[in-house]
Amino acid sequence: MTKLKAAVLISGRGSNMGALARATMDPDFPAEIVLVLSNKPHVEGLALAQEHGIDIRVIDHKEFDDRETHEDAVTEALKEAGAELVCLAGYMRILGEGFVNSWRGRLINIHPSLLPSFRGIKTHERALERGIRIHGCSVHFVTAELDAGPIIAQTAVPVVPGDTAETLSDRILEAEHELYPHALELIASKRVRWSGDSGVADMDVTQNDVAIFPKAD
């Protein structure tokens, strides 16, 4: 089986990268991780990637004069690694239009809310302030507009009485760790794609492919 070569961009803990790495260890999984790249040195996620035997690179944005030259270096590293798809997983840098457009349809992100609600940061705090009962997480294609690209897969997660931002975040993170490998599998098996022309992804998925958490079984 020819596997899709994916790179994962991180800035910290890397628990979603870890979930992707675990999924790709299954010989039948249609994607492999060829590189984990961080814009910050010494972060937890880099050690975790090494434990999984994955190549790592640090390209520290502080060593570059501007966003564009940093992103050019990132692109070069991704190309050297042979990456065909880039998965953002807690990558805490706004990406420039040039980078986003050059990876259009091949750049995905996981976000801790049911998009298009709660784009941006502090999603759990804002969800609790608004008193919503159902929160969740989304994997989407990345466009130049923050957290606004076509949605690939989502998981709904209940907000329960007494939740704090931390308890809610923990519950959603657990769902993220199932959702991201699921979304990667959908793309690698060519069941979801985005040509870049419309605001929604092209899907060849059944109802059973829709992620629900906690699972009903």
Position with the least CB separation from ligand GRF = 90
Q: How far apart are CA 49 and CA 33, in angstroms?
A: 10
Closer by beta carbon to ligand GRF, 30 or else 112? 112
CA dist list (Å): 206 to 79, 92, 103, 209, 213: 33, 33, 27, 5, 17
Least separation in angstroms between residue 204's CB and ligand GRF is: 25
Closer by beta carbon to ligand GRF, 90 or else 150? 90
Give the residue numbers marked as catalytic: 111
Least separation in angstroms between residue 45's CB and ligand GRF is: 6
Least separation in angstroms between residue 168's CB and ligand GRF is: 11
Among 95, 34, 106, 89, CA closest to 61: 95
* Residue 101 identity: N
Among 130, 152, 180, CA closest to 14: 180
Burial (CB count within 10 angstroms: exposed 0-12, middle 13-18, buried 19+), residue 10: buried
Closer by beta carbon to ligand GRF, 30 or else 136? 136
Site residues for ligand GRF per CB under 6 A: 10, 12-16, 45, 89-90, 110-112, 173, 176
Query: Coil, helix or strand for 202?
Result: strand
Closer by beta carbon to ligand GRF, 77 or else 173? 173
Least separation in angstroms between residue 148's CB and ligand GRF is: 14
Residues 6 or more apart whose Cβ sits within 8 Å of residue 11: 38, 39, 40, 43, 45, 90, 91, 92, 93
